[in-house]
Amino acid sequence: MIQSLSGPVDTRPWWQKLVQNYTLRTFVQSLFTVWAVITFVFFLIRLMPGNPVEIYVNYLMNTENLTYQDAYNRAASQFKFDPDASVVQQYFVYLGQLLRGDMGESITSTGTKVSSQILRYLPWTVFCVGSALLISFLLGMLLGMLAAYFRNTWVDNVISFLASIVSAVPDYIWAILILIIFGVQLKWFNVGDMRGTYDPATPPGFNLPFILSALQHAILPITTYVLGSIGRWVLAMRGSTTSTLGEDYVNIARARGLKQNRIMTAYVGRNAALPLFTLLAISIGFVLGGSVIVEEAFVYKGLGSFLFWSISQRDYTSMQGVLLIITIAVVFSNMLADLLYSRLDPRVRVTGDK
Amino acid sequence: MSEVVLSVQDVSIVYRVSRGQVKASQHISFDLHKGESLALIGESGSGKTTVSLSFIDMLPSAAKITGGKVLYTRDGKTENIFEFSEARMRDFRWHDCAMVFQGAQNAFNPVLKIKEQFLDTARAHGWRDKGKVIKRTLELLRLVRLDPERTLESFPHELSGGMKQRTLLALGVLLDPQVVILDEPTTALDILTQRAIIEVLKEMQSRLGFSIIFISHDLALAAEMADRVATMYAGEMVELGSTQHIFYEPLHPYSLGLLQSVPRLSQDKDELSSIKGNPPDLIDPPSGCKFHPRCPFAQELCNQEEPVFKEHEPGHFAACHFTENVIEARANLWKKD
In chain A, where the domains are located: 116-313
**Which one, of B34, B33, B78, B26, lies nearest residue B51 by Cα?**
B26
pLDDT greater than 90 at residue A250: yes
The nearest alpha carbon in chain A to B141 belongs to A2
Distance, CA of B182 to CA of B41 (rounded, Å): 12
Do residue B171 and residue B267 come from a single domain?
no
Do residue B30 and residue B168 come from a single domain?
yes
Mean pLDDT of B299-315: 88
Please give the single-letter amino acid code of residue A214.
Answer: A
Do residue B56 and residue B174 come from a single domain?
yes
A·B CB contacts under 8 A: 87
Distance, CA of B195 to CA of B185 (rounded, Å): 11
Q: Where is the domain boundary, B226, B251, B267? A: B226
Please name the member of A4, A254, A258 whose beta carbon is closest to the beta carbon of B120: A258
Instruction: Using a CB–CB cutoff of 8 Å, tell me whether B111 touches chain A.
Output: yes
Chain A residues within 8 angstroms (CB to CB) of chain B: 1-6, 247-249, 251-259, 262, 266-267, 270-271, 274, 344-347
Distance, CA of A143 to CA of B135 (rounded, Å): 41
What is residue A50's DSSP assignment? Answer: S
Residue A113: strand, helix, or coil:
strand
Distance, CA of B82 to CA of A261 (rounded, Å): 24
Question: Strand B63-74 and strand B4-17: pairing?
Answer: antiparallel
Do residue B291 and residue B206 come from a single domain?
no
For chain A, how big is the Rg over CA atoms in Å?
26
Do residue B39 and residue B128 come from a single domain?
yes
pLDDT in tens, A177-232: 988 888 888 877 777 777 777 777 777 777 777 888 888 888 888 999 999 899 99
Lowest mean pLDDT among A190-199, A270-279, B45-54: A190-199
Question: How many CB atoms are closer than 10 A to CB B191?
Answer: 8
Kindly give, in sequence order, each residue whose CB lies less than 8 Å from that of residue A301, ignoring residues fewer than 6 positions away: A121, A124, A196, A197, A295
Instruction: Using a CB–CB cutoff of 8 Å, tell me whether B291 touches chain A.
Output: no
User: How many percent of chain B have pLDDT more than 90?
Assistant: 41
Please name the member of B93, B110, B145 whose beta carbon is closest to the beta carbon of A256: B93
Distance, CA of B238 to CA of B60 (rounded, Å): 25
Angle, helix B86-95 to helix B114-124, in steps of 10 degrees = 130
CB contact under 8 A, B106 and A1: no
pLDDT at A23: 76
pLDDT greater than 80 at residue A353: no
Q: Where is the domain boundary, B204, B226, B248? A: B226
Q: E-assigned strands of chain B?
A: 4-17, 20-33, 37-41, 63-74, 77-80, 97-100, 179-183, 211-216, 228-233, 236-242, 310-313, 316-318
The nearest alpha carbon in chain A to B119 belongs to A258
Beta bridge partners of B60: none
Do residue B156 and residue B279 come from a single domain?
no
Sign of CA dihedral A317, A320, A323, A327: negative
pLDDT in tens, B63-121: 999 989 999 998 888 999 999 999 999 999 999 999 988 766 889 999 999 999 999 99
What is residue A105's DSSP assignment? Answer: B
CATH for the stretch A116-313: 1.10.3720.10
Do residue B18 and residue B84 come from a single domain?
yes
Q: Show the domain range for B212.
A: 4-226
pLDDT at B295: 87
Do residue B92 and residue B26 come from a single domain?
yes
**ipTM for the assembly:** 0.85
Distance, CA of B249 to CA of A206 (rounded, Å): 90
Cα dihedral: B41, B47, B49, B52 (round 10): -100
pLDDT at B93: 93
Mean pLDDT of B147-156: 92
Do residue B30 and residue B177 come from a single domain?
yes
Smallest CA–CA separation between B183 and chain A, in Å?
12
Do residue B68 and residue B173 come from a single domain?
yes
Evaluate whether B254 touches B231 at the Cβ level (below 8 Å). Answer: yes
Do residue B88 and residue B149 come from a single domain?
yes
Smallest CA–CA separation between B215 and chain A, in Å?
17
Distance, CA of A343 to CA of A153 (rounded, Å): 36
* Structural domain count, chain B: 2
Q: How far is the CA of B96 from the CAs of B58, B120, B176, in angstroms?
A: 15, 17, 8
Please give the single-letter amino acid code of residue B186.
Answer: T
Do residue B181 and residue B251 come from a single domain?
no
pLDDT at A4: 47
For residue B125, the chain A residues in CB contact (below 8 A) are 257
Residue B227: strand, helix, or coil:
coil
pLDDT at A21: 74
pLDDT greater than 60 at residue A44: yes
Residue B99: strand, helix, or coil:
strand
